[in-house]
């Protein structure tokens, strides 16, 4: 495997191609003036700025000059960055999908909105994403590199302001972003910047820079470079403290017990510099966090759920982007899952223009038989050139006894190399990591090499990885390493090798009135070998997608499975095990998703095929009705019917209702009702949330749990109040 990693580095080094992004640089001027943020653009300063315009279509008719143009202007006064945008619509009508903060899919993508992307280091590694819709709903998110592209994390929050207005057909946005919320170096005054305008009525996306449809519109590689005048280290309001109190009552109906808890906590953030932030949390409480969406899991392995706790999110890509999909050495949701966090410290950001640092330390309390633990992480990321970035890391989990460390530990060290060609068509990654666990030795390494190719009509991926049986990551997520034998109820740890490949062929129809594009082939394969070199599973999927001009789409595909099952499996949960043997089966499915700009939206899919020694039928339906600006209602239903012949049959139902009522863009009431027969759970979670001051909240949360026969198991109520002080 070492040869694979070395060969990949050599291969990637040879891929040096000319850049497509030759945009002329812009300028963010300095003007020592204040703005009355009202969405009116009445101040004289707006009249003296050079606008950014000439927006291009992203959807539809990618690359053409947008018929509905946006004019953007920017300046800063040393304290705040000010941005104005005027979008020339075809009608005075405004359409919004939600007033909820951070609902990027609805408040952002399903609304008339304006988006800002900032890369203050212009290194195309991480950045900031700000969106405001015409209803005043705010979305703030972090962008981070992942594989061959970029991902968004909307759980991160910061203080910024925006106001909107209409003048005839013009949609006006006025935005104020405090510079202290952004990580930057004063001597690195070249920022990457990009803007988007969204007209949901026309299903139109327009962008300030050219972006081919095979890339996401928030890809930092397509930002335009802006020179920021008179940029200085930010010395104003470096310190923010957010104390909170939580009162929680819970009752276990099954065991006839109840508990009342009063819990104070404090979160703090100190800007060591404008590019380096120190976060601290003491006795944190996360009762206000949205509940996870329940899923039906018919695989043999665990399901990944994203991190939602704000302490772990600032510069989170430094810690969470250390591995590859399903082989992640750091998964912060492991911290505090079995016992409460007593305190946490995190230092993260840029220590130099091309060097990022992440240091994290979190301690958990002893609870019963669960000992106290200390979790630490050190990450250093270095931009070696325009194409290469290297990352080294150390992760440690160690049992503690008071202030002393015990010999129960798990450590991971590793190094990654990322490559991106200058024309953005080729991307690559190589990973090497090793673990150290007390009482365990040998076969403790992880190797990976992968390469992507991405062109508007053709894209593909090829990768190879190897995970040793003793590559133990107590703070990581490597689900396939652990195999549960249902008959013996023993978890067996076993290493594996995985080879992956994908090719996708797409045709775009600019002159068609009905069809936007057709992905007529999407072929992928994942094959796994055990430690003896025997194939344990091979999955081949063939998909076909047809996307219409209104962005509704029809899709279908076939999946072929070859499974050499080594450990018994009980997917029905009835005690009848699928025995270890070789199984070959397939299923086929078809689905449809309606256009996003309608008041009533719907989607659904059906599939049918074999499943191990039997058959599986699946149907999924999703509906959404918008009563904006008052409410939004969603209903999802999924049914999985499995018949394993003599082993029995079972039908798993999963239903989820979401009701959102908006009193304003700062006060909303959200109720989730989830019914999952696979896990014998019927859950009601209702949350009233009031942002009475920027990032200062009052939460009232009620949670009620029943079994599938609607017999109550437990219920609880939590009240949380926090207040943010900026110094």
Query: pLDDT tens digits, residue range 608-627?
Result: 999 999 999 999 999 999 99
- With CA atoms as reference, report the closest residue to 194 among 114, 265, 270, 258: 114
Q: What is the mean pLDDT of residues 568-595?
A: 94
Residue 168 tokens read as 């005839």
φ, ψ of residue 597 in degrees (nearest 5): -100, 15
Cβ atoms 583, 563 nearer than 8 A: yes
What is the pLDDT averaged over residues 697-722? Answer: 92
The pair of structure tokens assigned to 413 is: 């060290």
Name residues whose C-beta falls within 8 Å of residue 695's C-beta, 6 or more positions apart in sequence: 157, 158, 159, 242, 724
Token pair recorded at residue 192: 């990457």
- What Rg, from alpha-carbon coordinates, does the chain have? 26
Give the helix/strand (H/E) hosting 68.
Answer: none
pLDDT at 10: 43
Rounded Cα–Cα distance for residues 86 and 110 (Å): 19
Burial of 592 (0-12, 13-18, 19+ CB in 10 A): middle
Give CA–CA dist 65/57, Å, rounded.
6
Instruction: Give the whole-angstrom CA distance, residue 633 versus residue 481.
Output: 40
Q: Is the pLDDT of residue 1 over 70?
A: no
Give the model's pLDDT for residue 149: 82
Mean pLDDT across the stretch 670-683? Answer: 91
Q: pLDDT tens digits, residue range 431-462?
A: 999 999 998 989 999 999 999 999 999 999 99
Cβ(131)–Cβ(118) below 8 Å? no
Cα separations in angstroms, 399 against 47, 66, 289, 479, 588: 62, 59, 28, 23, 49
Predicted TM-score (pTM) above 0.75: yes
Specify whether the CB–CB gap between 571 and 578 falls below 8 A.
yes
Rounded to an integer, what distance in angstroms lies between the CA atom of residue 466 and that of residue 499?
9
Question: Cα 553 to chain center, whole Å?
Answer: 23
d(CA 694, CA 336): 28
Please state, for a pLDDT cut of 70, what percent of the chain lies above it. Answer: 95
Nearest Cα to Cα of residue 471 among 441, 448, 513: 441
pLDDT of residue 22: 52
pLDDT band, residue 292 (cuts 50/70/90)? low
Q: Which long-range contacts (CB under 8 A, 24 or more apart) does 516-522 make?
A: 516/59, 516/60, 516/547, 516/548, 516/549, 516/551, 517/213, 517/547, 518/545, 518/546, 518/547, 519/543, 519/544, 519/545, 519/546, 519/547, 520/544, 522/557
**Cα distance between residue 620 and residue 639, in whole Å:** 6
The two tokens of residue 13 are 């080094």
Domains and CATH numbers, the chain: 26-228 (2.60.40.1190)
Q: Residue 404 contacts by C-beta under 8 Å, 6 or more apart in sequence?
A: none
Q: What pLDDT score was predicted for residue 463? A: 96
What is the number of other CB atoms lying within 10 angstroms of the CB of residue 235?
A: 12
Helix segments in 284-331, DSSP class H:
317-320
Question: Looking at residues 363-377, what average pLDDT do you find?
Answer: 92
Which one, of 103, 245, 212, lies nearest residue 721 by Cα?
245
> 448 forms bridges with which residues in the sheet?
431, 465
Q: How many residues does the chain have?
A: 727
Distance (Å, whole) CA 583 – CA 538: 11
Q: Would you call 175 helix, strand, or coil by DSSP?
A: strand
19 vs 183, more confident: 183
Which residues lie across from 491 on neighbouring strands?
484
SS (H, E, C) 226-284: EEECCCCCCCCCCEEEEEEEEEEEEEECCCCEEEEEEEEEEEEEEEEECCEEEEEEECC
Residue 8 is predicted with a pLDDT of: 46
H-run or E-run covering 512: none
pLDDT tens-place string over residues 225-236: 999 999 887 654
Place of tokens 């195999």: 483
Burial 457-471 (b: 16+ CB within 10 A, else e): eebbbebbbbbbbbb
Are the CB atoms for 619 and 655 separated by under 8 Å? no
Secondary structure class of 287 (helix, strand, coil):
coil
- 186 has pLDDT over 90: no
Confidence tier at 20 by pLDDT (50, 70, 90): very low
């Amino acid at each position: 495997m070492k040869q694979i990693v070395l060969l990949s580095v050599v291969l990637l080094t040879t891929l040096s191609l000319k850049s497509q992004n030759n945009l002329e640089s812009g300028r963010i001027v300095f003007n020592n003036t204040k703005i009355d943020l009202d969405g009116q653009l009445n101040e004289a300063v707006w009249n003296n700025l050079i606008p950014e315009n000439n927006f291009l279509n992203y959807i539809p008719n990618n690359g053409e000059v947008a018929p509905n143009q946006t004019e953007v202007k920017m300046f800063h006064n040393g304290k705040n960055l000010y941005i104005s945008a005027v979008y020339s619509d075809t009608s005075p009508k405004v359409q919004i999908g939600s007033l909820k903060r951070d609902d990027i899919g609805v408040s952002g993508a399903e609304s008339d909105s304006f988006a800002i992307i900032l890369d203050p280091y212009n290194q195309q590694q991480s950045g900031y994403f700000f969106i405001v819709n015409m209803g005043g709903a705010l979305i703030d998110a972090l962008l981070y590199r992942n594989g061959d592209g970029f991902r968004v994390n909307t759980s991160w929050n910061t203080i910024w302001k925006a106001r909107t207005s209409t003048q005839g057909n013009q949609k006006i946005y006025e935005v104020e972003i405090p510079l202290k919320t952004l990580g930057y170096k004063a001597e690195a005054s070249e920022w990457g910047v990009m803007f988007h305008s969204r007209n949901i009525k026309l299903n139109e996306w327009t962008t300030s820079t050219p972006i081919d449809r095979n890339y996401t519109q928030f890809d930092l590689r397509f930002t335009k470079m802006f020179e920021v005048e008179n940029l200085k280290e930010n010395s104003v309001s470096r310190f923010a403290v957010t104390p909170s109190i939580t009162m929680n009552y819970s009752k276990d109906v099954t065991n006839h017990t109840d508990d009342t808890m009063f819990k104070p906590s404090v979160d703090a953030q100190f800007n060591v510099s404008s590019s380096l932030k120190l976060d601290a949390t003491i006795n944190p409480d996360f009762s206000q966090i949205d509940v996870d969406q329940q899923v039906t899991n018919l695989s043999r392995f665990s399901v990944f759920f994203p991190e939602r706790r704000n302490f772990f999110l600032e510069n989170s890509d430094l810690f969470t982007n250390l591995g590859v999909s399903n082989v992640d050495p750091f998964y912060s949701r492991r911290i505090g899952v079995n016992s409460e966090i007593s305190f946490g410290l995190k230092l993260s950001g840029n220590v130099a223009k091309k060097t990022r640092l992440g240091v994290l330390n979190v301690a958990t309390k002893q609870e019963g038989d669960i000992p106290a633990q200390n979790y630490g992480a050190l990450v250093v990321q270095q931009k070696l050139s325009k194409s290469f970035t290297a990352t080294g890391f150390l992760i440690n989990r160690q049992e503690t006894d008071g202030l002393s460390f015990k010999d129960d530990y798990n450590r991971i060290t590793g190094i990654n190399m990322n490559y991106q060609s200058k024309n953005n068509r080729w991307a690559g990654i190589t990973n090497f990591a090793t673990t150290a666990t007390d009482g365990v030795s040998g076969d403790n390494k992880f190797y990976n090499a992968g390469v992507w190719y991405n062109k508007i009509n053709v894209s593909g991926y090829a990768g190879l990885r190897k995970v040793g049986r003793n590559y133990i990551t107590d703070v990581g997520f490597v689900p396939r390493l652990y195999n549960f034998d249902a008959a013996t109820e023993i978890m067996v740890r076993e290493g594996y090798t995985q080879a992956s490949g994908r090719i996708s062929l797409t045709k775009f129809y600019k002159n068609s009135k009905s069809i936007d594009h057709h992905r007529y082939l999407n072929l992928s394969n994942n094959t796994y070998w055990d430690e003896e070199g025997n194939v344990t599973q091979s999955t081949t999927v063939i998909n076909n997608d047809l996307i219409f001009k209104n962005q509704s789409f029809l899709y279908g595909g076939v999946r072929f499975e070859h499974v050499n099952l080594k450990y018994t499996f009980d997917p029905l949960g009835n005690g009848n095990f699928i025995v270890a043997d070789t199984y070959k089966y397939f299923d086929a499915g078809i689905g449809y998703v309606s256009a996003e700009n309608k008041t009533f939206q719907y989607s659904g899919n059906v599939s049918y095929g074999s499943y191990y020694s039997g058959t599986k039928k699946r149907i999924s339906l999703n509906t959404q009705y918008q009563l904006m600006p008052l409410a939004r209602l969603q209903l999802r239903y999924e049914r999985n019917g499995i018949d394993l012949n003599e082993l029995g049959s079972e039908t798993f139902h999963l239903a989820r209702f979401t009701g959102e009522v908006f009193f304003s863009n700062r006060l909303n009431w959200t109720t989730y009702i989830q019914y999952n027969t696979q896990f014998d759970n019927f859950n009601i979670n209702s949350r009233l949330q009031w942002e009475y001051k920027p990032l200062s909240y009052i939460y009232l949360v009620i949670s009620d749990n029943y079994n599938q026969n609607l017999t109550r198991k437990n219920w609880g109520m939590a009240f949380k109040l926090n207040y943010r002080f900026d110094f």
